[in-house]
Chain A
Amino acid sequence: MRVAVIALNTFKEAVRDRILYAILVFALVMLAGSTILVTISVDGEEKIIKDLGLACISIFGLLIATFLGTGLVSKEIEKRTLYTIISKPIHRYQFILGKYLGLVMTLLVNVGVMGLGLIGLAYIWEGTSSVRLLLAVLFIFLELVLVTAIAMLFSAFSSPALSALFTLCLFVAGHLSADLRLFAAQFGGAATKLLAEVLFFLLPNLSRLNLKDQTVHGIAIDGGTMALSVVYAIFYVAALVLAAMAIFQRRDFK
């Protein structure tokens, strides 16, 4: 109940933030503009529309997740708005969970709007089935949910700017870790292999959540693998949120 109150209010904050609308409008314009351009110039190259569109959603989603995520808790501390909230009968972990869920809701709406835009565009230009595309967008959302948790965890103990930097680095690393492991397994020595394995285990395996290639190139996606990916993401997010709660629980608000 109290978690929901915090979450809804966090969502309200995002809804009343003009910058978010600006990003969203910009993303939609980019989406439409690029697909139109492609359709006009490259004859019948439908793959590019989806490719570009999904990349567009991914990037703007990443921006929103990172910048809202890193400010989620640190801004409350910096602006001292949380003094009157933490001193109300609410547990600190409830506050963290509420803030997090509020941002997840915000992301859902944003990714939803962009995703619908892309599906609509794909339909207009190609009249193709959109289930695949919807799935890819859902997985982008899942990835962003994870990125948000990373951003929030970093911001629980460092400045927003540093947190954003760390988050973006981890995003890149998370996409490369699987490749790195493959690479090390083929060419590396024992130590390199071990290091790659450890990194692969610790870093979020974001390439797991990337269905863009399969979607664009129409490669079959195994249902079991997908379900496992979802479970993986949920556990990873839970671990991150719990860590953020643990840090927040012991913090002094000076």
Chain B
Amino acid sequence: MNAIETEKLGKEYRIGFWRKRICVLSQLDLTVHEGEVFGYLGPNGAGKTTTLKLLTGLLRPTSGKAKVLGRPPGDVVMQQQVGFLPEQPSFYEYLTGRELLNFYGQLVGLDRPTRREQIEGLARQLRIESALDLQLRKYSKGMLQRLGLAQALLNDPRLVLLDEPMSGLDPIGRWEVRDLLLRLKSEGRTVFFSSHIIPDVEMVCDRVGILVGGRLVAQGPIDDILGAQIASIEVTASQVPPEVMAELGYLLVTQSVPRGERLLLTVKDEAALAELLTRLLDCKATIHAIAPHRESLEEYFIRYVQPRETP
């Protein structure tokens, strides 16, 4: 069984006085396998939050269907096994962190000793121990985010759904969340999280889905998605005679970049590389390094997203 499966899932909102339809998610076919970390990437307004709300049952789809742990979203049996962190979570300000977690613990049906144990353990893991007895109105954004993560993990979930879990955190906090995601995976849980920050995704995900303008444009292992893209190869050389350099221009993808004594030459593929190397060796230039350069997810992303309108 897959942890998440959607079939032609779509959501339309009606806006304005005339209830004009706008489509924010269309024909989404998403598959998240059990036990993997899945990164859901997309620029702002792509429809990531909408997808997560559909998966948790906060929104009802206008078309298509979704299965979460084999059950319809919003089903209590499914909710018992799922943890959810909304985007920029907001909690009862009049409670302390401990009271809040205790409240959620009761909602997920934990008995008192288990609640206490879970709260202590998660507070330690997420480093909010010292803030547990503080009222939430005094929490910083980062602390609220950590508390949000804690409440999502209270019920020992099989599947964790996180909407922008790294937002609002400082660099150290982001590292800790990455660590946490990997630990959740090693504990056998499935993690599905959305982000618009690529390095966060690149480092921890088994597979990613890329959402642009409400459409899933790619889904699969990062290597597969990027493997299909043209790689470039960088050659570092020195003592290249200027007249040879002038002739080599047609082989290069970009202008040569001087690095002190050396030159950085970038070619498109292996054939161009072979030719470049022959020419360089012919003129007795020194070759220092040859490095294949895979397109980063970021470059892929920018290439894909840029031509479109981003709100």
Q: Which of A228-250 contact B (CB under 8 A)?
A: 250
CA distance A12 to B96 in the complex (A): 12
Q: Which of A63-71, A83-91, A153-161, A206-214 contacts B (4 or more CB under 8 A)?
A: A83-91
Task: Please report the C-alpha to C-alpha distance between residue A84 and residue B59 in the assembled complex, in whole angstroms.
Answer: 13
**SS of A interface (majority):** loop
Contact of B90 among A9, A81, A252 (CB under 8 A): A81
The CA-CA distance from A250 to B104 in the complex, in Å, is 23
Instruction: Give the complex CA separation of A6 and B94 in angstroms.
Output: 15
Contact of B57 among A2, A85, A87 (CB under 8 A): A87
Number of A-B contacts (CB under 8 A): 76
**Contact of B304 with A by CB under 8 A:** no
**Complex contacts, A80 vs chain B, CB 8 Å:** 86, 88-90
**B84:A5 contact, CB within 8 angstroms:** no
Contact of A252 with B151 in the complex, beta carbons under 8 Å:
no
Chain A residue with the shortest CB-CB distance to B53: A253
Question: Chain B: interface residue count, which band?
Answer: 20 to 34
CA distance A2 to B107 in the complex (A): 6
CB pair B58 A84 closer than 8 Å: no
**In the bound complex, what is the Cα–Cα distance between A121 and B89 (angstroms)?**
48
Q: How far is the CB of A208 from chain B (nearest CB, A)?
A: 37
Q: A5-B106, A83-B86, A84-B148 are in contact. Are A91 and B94 (CB under 8 A)?
A: no
0/1 string, B71-96, CB within 8 A of A gives 1: 00000110110101010111110110
Nearest chain A CB to B8 CB, angstrom units: 19
Task: List B contacts of A85 (CB < 8 A).
Answer: 104, 107
Q: Which residues from B are CB-within-8-Å of A17? A: 94
Query: Are A84 and B89 in contact (CB-based, < 8 A)?
Result: yes
> Within 8 Å CB of B86, what residues of A?
80, 83-84, 87
- 1/0 per residue, CB under 8 A from B, across A1-29: the answer is 01001100100110011000000000000
User: Which residue among A83, A87, A91 has the maximum number of chain B CB atoms within 10 Å of its CB?
Assistant: A87
- The one of B59, B106, B108, B155 in contact with A254, judged by C-beta atoms closer than 8 angstroms, is B59
Indicate whether B109 reaches chain A with its CB closer than 8 angstroms: yes
Given the complex, which residues of B lie within 8 Å of A83, measured CB to CB? 56, 58, 84, 86, 89-90
A254 to B11, CA, bound (A): 11
Please give, as numbers and ranges, the residues of chain B lying within 8 Å of A13 by CB-CB distance.
92, 94
Chain B's closest residue to A85 (CB) is: B107
Whether B58 pairs with A253 at a CB distance below 8 angstroms is: yes
Query: B13 within 8 Å of A by Cβ?
Result: yes
- Complex formed: what's the CA distance from A196 to B53 in Å? 46
Q: Is B103 an interface position by the 8 A CB rule? A: yes
Contact with B along A79-117 (1 / 0, CB 8 A): 111011111111100000000000000000000000000
| CB interface residues, A 6-54, toward B, < 8 Å | 6, 9, 12-13, 16-17
Q: Which of B58, B94, B108, B151 contacts A89 (CB 8 A)?
A: B108
B268 at the A/B interface (Cβ < 8 Å)? no
Q: Is A12 in contact with B59, judged by CB distance below 8 angstroms?
A: no
A9 vs B57: C-alpha distance when bound (angstroms): 23
Interface presence of B60 (CB below 8 A): yes
CA distance A77 to B90 in the complex (A): 11
Q: Are B84 and A84 in contact (CB under 8 A)?
A: yes
CB of B108 within 8 A of CB of A9, answer: no
Residues of B within 8 A of A90 (CB): 76, 79, 107
CA distance A254 to B86 in the complex (A): 12
CB distance from B25 to the nearest CB of A (A): 13
Of the residues B13, B57, B92, contact of A81 by C-beta under 8 Å: B92
Bound-state Cα–Cα, A229 to B94, Å: 38
Q: Which of B103-133 contact A (CB under 8 A)?
A: 103-104, 106-109
The answer to whether A88 and B94 touch (CB under 8 A), given A5-B107, A254-B13, is no
On chain A, the residues within 8 Å of B60 by CB distance are 250, 252
Return chain A residues, CB-CB under 8 Å to B89. Answer: 80, 83-84
Which residues from chain A contact B92 at a C-beta distance below 8 Å? 9, 13, 81
Chain A residues closer than 8 Å to B155, beta-carbon distance:
88-89
Contact A89 B107, beta carbon cutoff 8 Å: yes
Shortest C-beta distance, B84 to chain A (Å), equals 4
Residues of chain A having any CB pair with chain B under 8 Å? 2, 5-6, 9, 12-13, 16-17, 79-81, 83-91, 250, 252-254
User: A87-B57, A90-B107, A253-B58 given. 19 additional CB < 8 A pairs?
Assistant: A9-B95, A12-B95, A13-B92, A80-B86, A80-B89, A83-B56, A83-B58, A84-B91, A86-B57, A87-B58, A88-B107, A88-B155, A89-B107, A89-B108, A89-B109, A90-B79, A91-B76, A252-B59, A254-B53
